[in-house]
Structure 1
Amino acid sequence: MAAQAFEQLRLPLPVPRHSPDVRLPDGRDATIVGENTWIWTDRGVWHPAVQRVQVGPVWAEVTATPVGMTFASGTGGSMTCSGPGTPYERSYGLHAASPDCGFVYTRSSVGQLNDETGAGWAIQWSVSWVGSDGNAPVGGDFPQMLSRARATFAVAEVQALRAN
């Protein structure tokens, strides 16, 4: 029963979000080289997923709980966050680093396919189960699972002059 519930379990996919999320003149989304890029997923997907199967007095319930998120930059760097990340808001300041899930791109995406990077968000899930064999409680753990999503955007360089 537990294996059947495990097979039927559907995990929410990450909803990729990042800031800065600027729009280039050609309409493409972009972030900026050397800037603190905040990484997060929609908090609506950051909740346990549960699947229950029952036949008479025998039942099993599998629960997958999000325990971390990995961000793969698409340019060779990656990072792991302990939660869904913090959505950027202007009140944090223009160049502030994310308090829990940030990345700094060190080079532009020029030269990659369509001059864009394909970044990946992956939520890690701890999976356990409980149930009854009809006579006594039973339970255990399954291997960790991942749900993944990708986003494509440019990593742009910005040139500026500062005059005193």
Structure 2
Amino acid sequence: MQLPDGRDATIVGENTWIWTDRSVWKPAVERVQVGTVWAEVTATPTGMTFNSGSDRSMTCSGPGTPYDRSYGLHAASPDCGFVYTRSSVGLPNDQTTAEWAIQWSVSWIGSTGSGSVGGDFPLLQSRARSTFAVAEVQALRAN
């Protein structure tokens, strides 16, 4: 959602859906070769973490599900969602900065020209950040 001043926002107590582009959620393979010497690296996504910017975080096992209005206005994400419990009022510019990180399992194989080689790298992460407001909404219901 957007606030009247144009800032992006989510709402305290509402379900915030977390997802990444499904086109990046697949093994990435890169190969280089010079003569008979070659190496191929494969990075496979294994999970995604969400740090809310409010000292709480969560982990999802996949890319999450993109929100669509057909799920309903207050629906929880089926696989990767978060609920803020406090507004961002009092933080710099009254906004929070959240961070997403995809964890990648990375391995490699290759040839020295006379034999096979390969191994695994430590778990790697790609990160992205976003700054937005966490707003409180008050409502009055009359019968």
Determine helix, strand or coil for the equivalent of 1:143. coil
Aligned AA (1:80): T
Q: CA deviation at 1:94?
A: 1.3
Instruction: Tell me, in whole angstroms, the C-alpha distance in 2 between the residues paired with 1:114 and 1:42.
Output: 28
Corresponding residue number in structure 1 for 2:100: 121
Corresponding residue number in structure 1 for 2:54: 75
Q: CA deviation at 1:137?
A: 2.9
Q: How many residues get paired?
A: 143
Corresponding residue number in structure 2 for 1:42: 21
Corresponding residue number in structure 2 for 1:107: 86
Corresponding residue number in structure 2 for 1:152: 131
Instruction: Tell me, in whole angstroms, the C-alpha distance in 2 between the residues paired with 1:75 and 1:131.
Output: 44
TM-score by length of 1: 0.83
Residue segments in structure 1 that go unaligned for 5+ positions in a row = 1-21
Q: Say whether 1:97 aligns with 2:76.
A: yes
Corresponding residue number in structure 2 for 1:143: 122
Residue segments in structure 2 that go unaligned for 5+ positions in a row = none
User: How big is the alpha-carbon RMSD for the aligned residues of Structure 1 and Structure 2?
Assistant: 1.2
Q: CA deviation at 1:59?
A: 1.0
Aligned AA (1:55): V
1:56 to 35, 40, 60: 35
Instruction: Tell me, in whole angstroms, the C-alpha distance in 1 between the residues paired with 2:47 and 2:104.
Output: 7
Deviates more, 1:64-73 or 1:134-143: 134-143
Q: CA deviation at 1:29?
A: 0.5
Corresponding residue number in structure 1 for 2:142: 163
Q: Say whether 1:86 aligns with 2:65.
A: yes
Instruction: Tell me, in whole angstroms, the C-alpha distance in 2 between the residues paired with 1:105 and 1:130.
Output: 43
Identity, % of aligned positions? 82
